[in-house]
Amino acid sequence: MMHILLTNDDGIEAPGLLALRQELVSLGKVTVVAPEEECSGIGHSITLGSSIILRKARDEEGDLRYAVEGTPADCVKIALGGLLEESFDIVVSGINWGANAGMNLLYSGTVAAALEAAYSGSLGVAASLERGPQADFGAAAQTTRFILEIFLKRKLPRRCAFSINIPARPLKEIKGIRISPQSTEFFQEAFRHTSLPDGREEISLIGQNDGPLASGASESALLSQGFVTVTPITFDLTQKALLARLKKWSWARRFQELVKRSQNLPL
């Protein structure tokens, strides 16, 4: 039987996680290992220098689930690092409340969990639902399961991860599924500054305004048009386009200049 690890960054009681679990049980055994509390925007941080508390509980079906006082990446590390004697066939993270497109991929704990799974050698999938009055976790969970079934029928490479974004529309109004690159549009962020009585200043990030969409093929543009987007992602942050250019620079000669300068030798 297939064994699915389910996690998120909205917390173990989040409606998106509960809706997705209800759909995934038709694919196999689902084990939930998720943060005790919401960890939105925590990115790929992990707990270092202190212990992590784990709480066991049973869901309505009697299956064990694990609440972790840590981050989404912690949850995946703990689960894949021997929490159970069984192994996992796939790691699914979500459903996040709010789309994770563009620069949000760097900040998202939901996406970090999928990347942590890929880094550990598993298939990782992050699913996020766009916010809006018509957002439907049930429809998003059905869509995610449908895409997972396609992934599981194909032979994908190891250390593979995907980010799925689902529009805030009823299922019948979603236009389809598009494979798309990560958006490169930048946000214009707004901050609120408040002076405190003791002379300190309180600064709050209160919103992000999207700039103009640069490409109709990007995930942000397609999502706004009503498409589900699927983006293959990786933990390799290398700017490959600059590698060859940088290698042409005279690094050895310049470093020798540094050595000589440190010894007060003539260049």
Residue 196 lies in a domain: no
Give the side-chain half-sphere CA count within 13 A for 188. Answer: 5
Q: How far apart are CA 40 and CA 45, in angstroms?
A: 11
pTM above threshold 0.85: yes
133: in domain: yes
> Comparing C-alpha atoms, which of 32, 39, 34, 23 is closest to residue 4?
32
pLDDT in tens, the chain (267 residues): 889 999 999 999 999 999 999 999 999 999 999 999 999 889 999 999 899 999 998 877 777 899 999 999 999 999 999 888 888 999 999 999 999 998 889 899 999 999 999 999 999 999 999 999 999 999 999 999 999 999 999 888 888 999 999 999 999 999 999 999 988 766 677 778 888 888 788 787 776 555 545 456 788 889 999 999 999 999 888 988 899 899 888 888 888 888 888 887 676
Residue 44 CB-half CA count within 13 A? 13
- What Rg value do the Cα atoms of the chain yield, rounded? 22
CATH number, position 222: 3.40.1210.10
Residue 57 lies in a domain: yes
Whether 94 is covered by a domain: the verdict is yes
Q: Pull the structure tokens for residue 95.
A: 């459903």
Q: Is residue 155 part of a domain?
A: yes
Number of compact structural domains in the chain: 1
Range of the domain at 117: 3-187+213-262
